[in-house]
Chain A
């Protein structure tokens, strides 16, 4: 295989695609506001239902259920690790940051300080057909957090 394929599917992505942190929707009882979002990619049928709990202005928990390619599943897993425990507003900024990188067609390099493991998805931005795969969970979290604002 070529370097470009290995750059796209970095080991960290392949690992998360199998580990799937946050997989399995969690019922929430107790304090906090719950937001939920369902996202579908009609091109390939990939989908995700994501539930976020916001407590005291911070992301208390993220859980999701989905089916899709390695990129979309790994992206949901990495996002779960990244977002839990952060202030809600900071996560919304992270989503914007990630979206800018994804849409850059390879021009922007992800800042690992900011995006952590999600920086591994930088290579996806060179494959416009796959950007939606990487974005699926992030859009779902963004919508969930907006829904949990009320």
Chain B
């Protein structure tokens, strides 16, 4: 007999999310009941890291209590169960983004996923991987293109790859409002361009970039496309086949999962042709004292004992998001984001970065407060129990381009209420007078 288990607090997938429903969802997240500085926590930093629902923490605990064993080695029953759970999680996360299991490689986080790509290309450039890998090899005269709005994680690995191979690194600039200059993109994407790496949704501007347009330009010149989906996979329905990118990376801890786990998606066929990055146990077929043969993807890129419990917990997170309904989450966050941008724009002395409220924006807002440094804004908010991010958000070049050093960012998720957004807006409206910046 098969029993299906539905959590009592299961939010269901029908209709739009409402504040009442979000309050039910919040019951799944114990940390949201915490008090900070004597005030109820208002967590508006999910863009940095999200909170975990009970089902995710229970999945990890259940694994350690009942099934912990090394995966893909050993034939005892526990090892088989652990391997099954681990691969089921891979299937769940792959399904979540419309990929097949063999197209999804576990990494520590998105940063490691991009480094995996860059180092694999580096190895191909040294001749590793033979002729099959030559399409990943870079040499002087080749070009890598990124954008001016990238998180450092999608910039520095490419700077280093360019330095190692002699390829040149160029970027698509942004305009004064922070939008990509697509008119310049076309000229930048020359036939010598081998890689176009860009973010799906900006962690600072909230902009959702025109993926299909950029993929089309890259395709025309035969460049590989790499999409940083850290701020999109947790918040919008993402289908890698519809996006038609070659590679896509994201982090588990930004999508209700634990830290220490992320993933690289690679189009079928590409990953199998790439030379490995980390080498060692569990990624080989035959090994002699002189050389080794490697397994196909994904195992080819998963050397050593893996992040088993984290992968299983991330699988539970993907299932939680699917059960709640990604289209509903997207719509809810769009409404919170619009409320944030609209409300902030009405406060005197506040400059909101990125596009105006409305379509093409995720549920976050970074802003500058005239006459008050972001760190002071953050301290003022923290005093009221509000957790917001201050600083350059790992995007120094973008801040420099916009004439800023640091900004304050509020980022929402499915568990934030309109009351929280309003409480935040009320707090921000008192910042300038407290610091004497209104005179």
Contacts and interface: CB of A to CB of B under 8 A. Distances in A.
Interface of A: 1-2, 4-5, 8-9, 14, 17-18, 43-46, 67-71, 127, 130, 133
Contacts of A9: 376, 379, 434-435
Interface string B125-152: 0000000000000000000000000000
Contacts of A14: 435-436
A5 B38 contact: no
Contacts of A130: 375, 379
Most A C-beta atoms less than 10 A away, residue of B376, B380, B392, B436: B376
B95 interface: no
B362 interface: no
A2 B38 contact: yes
Interface in B415-431: 430
A4 B372 CA distance: 19
Contacts of A69: 373-376
Contacts of B373: 46, 68-70
Nearest to A67: B405
A17 B157 CA distance: 38
B37 A127 contact: no
Contacts of B405: 44-46, 67
Given A70-B376, A70-B435, A45 B392 contact: yes
Given A14-B436, A69-B375, A70-B376, A1 B406 contact: no
B37 A45 contact: no
Contacts of A46: 373, 375, 405-406
A56 to B, nearest CB: 37
B345 interface: no
Given A45-B405, A45-B406, A1 B375 contact: no
Nearest to B399: A45
A44 B390 contact: yes
A22 B238 CA distance: 54
A8 B38 CA distance: 16
B380 A44 contact: no
Contacts of A1: 380, 383-384, 430, 434
A2 B385 CA distance: 11
Interface in B156-176: none
Given A9-B379, A45-B396, A130-B375, 18 more contacts: A1-B430, A2-B37, A2-B38, A5-B383, A9-B434, A9-B435, A44-B375, A44-B390, A44-B406, A45-B405, A45-B406, A46-B373, A68-B373, A68-B375, A70-B372, A71-B375, A71-B376, A130-B379
A5 B384 CA distance: 10
